[in-house]
Amino acid sequence: MNWKFINSGFSSGKYNMDFDLKLTEKCNSTTSFFRLYRWKPYCISLGANQKFEDINLIRAKQDNLDVVKRPTGGRAILHAEEITYSAVMPLGSGLSNREIYTKISEALVRGLKIYNSKLENVELENLQPNFPNLLNQPSGVLCFASTAKSEIKHNGKKLVGSAQRKMNNVVLQHGSILCGTFHTKLPNYLNANLSDIKILNNELKNKTTEIETILNEPVDYFKLEQSLIKGFEEEWSTKLEEVNFEPAF
């Protein structure tokens, strides 16, 4: 398998999601992609089956936040102080969708441990929550309110949220690696009453963590990116070839 690496820097929410979709079109039986990117302006993304009505779009616009839908499933995320990854690869590699999901997560775990030895306790979740039950709770709209199987946590708190979708003969997986705390402001942009917003704010703070919080120091984004690349190469026994790809929309 020939892996290409793309570091596309900061872009808008729509651009980032369209970019990932374009990579599914460029992917073929011999070429896969690993991409790292960030968000400018900050952006709320919704799972493919979520409704925009979940979000207070007026307040989000007032605070200069993009609001977009992801092509994958899952629930709402406020993309802010984070590095986002996407991995696009063809099916038929001998790995199931679940095995691909787990292997990509393991690659991220390797990268985080390379970044700082204090992240040695980062691990994958072993249990799958009861999603039908969760979705009926007030926190059901929030991705980081629970940790799915093979997502990444540190001392029981969610650090990386990921989602995957099969598209024809290609698998798209992308997710958020939390670096700072701005993501916890997401409940303030929900169409919910003040009581529920307060509860959800506390829930996010109790159930999530960030690299900055764990290490008690600012994140070196360049070093983190290089560490994630190294972790990916080690886990997949490959050498990432960096390419400049500008999709035509």
pLDDT digits (tens, 9 = 90+) for 67-87: 999 999 999 999 999 999 999
Cα–Cα dist 74/149, whole Å:
13
Which tens digits make up the pLDDT trace of 11-67? Answer: 999 999 999 999 999 999 899 999 999 999 999 999 999 999 999 999 999 999 999
| Beta carbons of 47 and 72 less than 8 angstroms apart | yes
- Give residue for tokens 């979000």: 55
Quickly name the fold that domain 2-242 has.
BirA Bifunctional Protein; domain 2 (3.30.930)
Cα–Cα dist 83/239, whole Å:
21
Q: Is the pTM of this model over 0.75?
A: yes
Cα–Cα dist 177/179, whole Å:
6
pLDDT at 93 over 80: no
